[in-house]
């Protein structure tokens, strides 16, 4: 080995990686989807009703899901859209953000955040993260220019940005906040839920997210009636009714088939979250004692929902390989910082521009923390990591 992840020909950061079926090679697999949907019969029964009703676009099941989702988060409105990416892009469009504008977001985010901003025509302006994996709020103000039109904090890994401070900065500068809460369903900062802070927030229902469906789907939430009304137009071609178009919109509706799956699962979201939190605490107790592992700060005013269980590891590349060899399907989110990706070169950030993001790319490792992992599997992960460092 000895080859850094960032230099491998087929990086982990690939499309295939997101679609791998459950692997039998691993004692501790990463994907739990086959377990989660092991008995699809009740969903098939609901899908049969949908098919027989012919109610395929924005019908009853989508409305039901939107109501349940709004109640779950504790907001007035939830609008189902085509993906988590669109759940970030469409609220920016509803706020009339586009060409010539700038939107501030975290340098260490997943590509979709930056992609959503760029799709509106606005320029993504990146700010480094801190060890919470969220935007370093102390650096946000320096990134604000006369062109800044919104701030998009990212609740990455299920951690939460210091929203109390960020909202103060946003209010001082009169800037709307649109949260990227795709990884943060039911997370909280200072007792307030992600998705309820700003003008709007986007959630993803992608198969890899904590509340997931069988393909793409997303939800925008807002307490603002005007934004809700605009979003309902924008996601459906800007059509006021069959014959009248009031604004140029998109085709980005939450698919009815996915709404059926969502309706089946949404009642379990609190259970899923609580299991992930318990699993995270169990790892903290076991892995936190190992000298080569450093846990991120566990701020007591944050309810983190462990979309990912991500820690800092000495000799990360070697540990990662050791885990794979011993049957633990660890992951690295992500080995190449976004701003150093070829596709983002036009943004013009030179290597080294975001030192914390760079440091994280070299140190982070993620272990499976989903609601289906067993304590025996977690014990095995802890044992393998412990063995790795005791041999050094």
Ligand X SMILES: *Cc1c(COP(=O)(O)O)cnc(C)c1O
Q: Would you give the binding string for ligand X spanning residues 72-91, x where CB under 6 A is met?
A: -----------xxx------
Q: Which span sits near ligand X by CB under 6 A: 25-33, 66-74, 105-113, 320-328?
A: 105-113
Q: In the chain, where does DSSP find H-type helix? A: 15-19, 33-36, 41-53, 60-73, 84-94, 111-119, 140-143, 163-172, 225-234, 256-265, 269-287, 316-325, 355-363, 375-390
Residues 323-362 that bind ligand X (CB under 6 A): none
CB of 210 or CB of 378, closer to ligand X: 210
Q: From the CB of 265, what's the least distance to ligand X, in Å?
A: 15
Q: How far is the CB of 192 from ligand X (least distance, A)?
A: 19
Mark 113-132 with x for binding to ligand X (rule: CB under 6 A) and - for no binding: x-------------------
Report if residue 258 touches ligand X, rule: CB under 6 A. Answer: no
List all residues 6 or more positions away from 42 whose beta carbon is below 8 Å from its beta carbon.
264
Number of residues near ligand X (by CB under 6 A): 16
Query: Cβ of residue 171: shortest distance to ligand X, in angstroms?
Result: 24
Helices 60-73 and 41-53 cross at an angle (nearest 10°) of 130
3-class DSSP state for residue 218?
strand
Q: Find the part of the chain contacting ligand X (CB under 6 A) among 59-67, 90-98, 108-116, 122-130.
A: 108-116
- Region near ligand X per CB under 6 A, out of 57-65, 107-115, 274-282, 381-389: 107-115
91 vs 292, beta carbon nearer ligand X: 91
Residues 216-255 vs ligand X: string with x where CB under 6 A? x-x-------------------------------------
> Min. distance of Cβ 182 from ligand X in angstroms?
4
By CB under 6 A, what part of segment 199-218 binds ligand X?
204, 206, 216, 218
The number of C-alpha atoms within 13 Å of 115 and in the hemisphere containing its C-beta is: 11
Q: Kindly report the backbone phi and psi dihedral angles of residue 344, in degrees, each rounded to the nearest multiple of 5, phi listed first.
A: -105, 5
Residue 162: HSE in the Cβ half-sphere, 13 Å Cα cutoff? 17
Shortest Cβ distance from residue 101 to ligand X (Å)? 20
Asked if residues 303 and 158 have their Cβ atoms less than 8 Å apart, the reply is: no
Could you tell me the smallest distance in angstroms from the CB atom of residue 156 to ligand X? Answer: 6
Closest to 160 (Cα-Cα) out of 125, 126, 186: 186
Residues 6+ apart with CB under 8 A from 82: 216, 217, 218, 235, 251, 252, 253, 254, 255
| 255 or 317: CB nearest ligand X | 255
Q: What tokens does 363 get?
A: 């140190």
Q: Smallest distance from the beta carbon of 186 to ligand X, in angstroms?
A: 15
Buried b (16+ CB within 10 A) or exposed e, 162-171: bbeebbebbe
- For residue 112, the minimal CB distance to ligand X (Å) is 3
Query: Across the strands, what pairs with 105?
Result: 126, 152
Nearer CB in complex with ligand X: 218/296? 218
Provide the β-strand partners of residue 221: 78, 201
- For the segment 154-193, give every residue that binds ligand X (CB under 6 A): 154, 156, 180, 182-183
Q: Which is nearer to ligand X, 132 or 377 (CB)?
A: 132
Q: Which is nearer to ligand X, 112 or 234 (CB)?
A: 112
- The tokens of 103 are what? 């939107």
Q: Which residue lies nearest ligand X, judged by its C-beta? A: 84
Tokens 């088939």 sit on residue: 257
- Strands 178-180 and 200-204: what pairing? parallel
CB of 26 vs ligand X, minimal distance in Å: 23
Binding site for ligand X (CB under 6 A): 83-85, 109-110, 112-113, 154, 156, 180, 182-183, 204, 206, 216, 218
């Amino acid at each position: 080995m000895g080859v850094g992840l960032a230099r491998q020909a087929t990086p982990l950061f690939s499309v295939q990686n997101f679609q791998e079926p459950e692997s039998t090679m691993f004692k501790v697999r990463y994907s739990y989807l086959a377990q989660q949907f092991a008995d699809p019969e009740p969903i098939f029964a609901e899908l049969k009703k949908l098919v027989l009703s012919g109610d395929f676009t924005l019908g009853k099941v989508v409305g039901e899901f939107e109501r349940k989702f709004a109640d779950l988060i504790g907001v007035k409105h939830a609008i189902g859209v085509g993906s988590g990416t669109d759940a970030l892009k469409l609220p920016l469009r509803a706020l009339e953000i586009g060409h010539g504008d700038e939107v501030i977001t975290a340098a260490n985010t997943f590509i979709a955040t930056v992609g959503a901003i760029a799709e509106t025509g606005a320029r993504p302006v990146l700010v480094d993260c801190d060890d919470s994996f969220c935007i370093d709020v102390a650096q946000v103000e320096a990134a604000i220019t006369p062109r800044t039109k919104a701030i998009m904090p990212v609740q990455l890994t299920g951690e939460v940005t210091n929203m109390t401070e960020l909202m103060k900065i946003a209010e001082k500068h009169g800037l709307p906040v649109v949260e990227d809460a795709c990884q943060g369903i039911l997370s909280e900062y200072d007792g307030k839920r992600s998705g309820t802070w700003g003008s709007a927030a986007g959630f993803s229902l992608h198969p890899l997210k904590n509340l997931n469906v069988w393909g793409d789907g997303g939800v925008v939430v807002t307490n603002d009636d005007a934004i809700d009304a605009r979003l309902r137009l924008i996601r459906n071609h800007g059509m006021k009714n069959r014959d009248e178009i009031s604004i140029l919109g998109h085709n980005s509706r939450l698919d009815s088939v996915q709404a059926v799956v969502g309706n089946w699962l949404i009642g379990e979201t609190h259970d899923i979250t609580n299991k992930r939190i318990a699993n995270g605490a169990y790892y903290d107790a076991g892995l936190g004692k190992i000298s080569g592992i450093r846990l991120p700060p566990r701020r007591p005013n944050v309810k983190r929902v462990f979309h990912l269980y991500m820690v800092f590891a000495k000799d990360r590349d070697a540990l990662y390989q050791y885990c794979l060899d011993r049957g633990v399907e660890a992951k690295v989110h992500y080995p190449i910082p976004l701003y150093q990706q070829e596709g983002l070169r036009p943004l013009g950030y030179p290597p080294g521009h975001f030192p914390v993001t760079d440091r994280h790319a070299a140190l982070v490792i993620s272990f499976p923390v989903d609601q289906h992992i067993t304590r025996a599997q977690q014990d095995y992960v802890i044992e393998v990591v412990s063995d790795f460092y005791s041999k050094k």
